[in-house]
Amino acid sequence: MTVTAGAEDLRAEPGSFQLIVIGNAFHRLRRMVVAGLAHAWLRPGGCLALCWSTSPWAGPNDWQHALDSLLRRWQNALVGSRPA
């Protein structure tokens, strides 16, 4: 099932989604609220995709530094888990 809705207006049960995509808008949303909602809505192992026309983590804001740090930790974990 596909749902198109404003993140702050959507009412969904916990674990309702395998994938949540936010297109070029996360920086305009109440990020902590939307991230918390997305976390609750995702099934275990689900994914949140933030789609931008530029790299959202390459910027001066605190949230961009936090996103960059998180992405680097994920990348390092993935590289470390690959079979030799």
Q: For 36-56, what is each residue's pLDDT tens digit?
A: 999 999 999 999 998 877 777
Res 79: pLDDT? 78
Low-confidence ranges of the chain (pLDDT < 50): none
Give the CA-trace dihedral at 71, 77, 46, 32, to 10 degrees: -40
The Cα–Cα gap between 16 and 35 comes to 15
pTM as predicted? 0.59
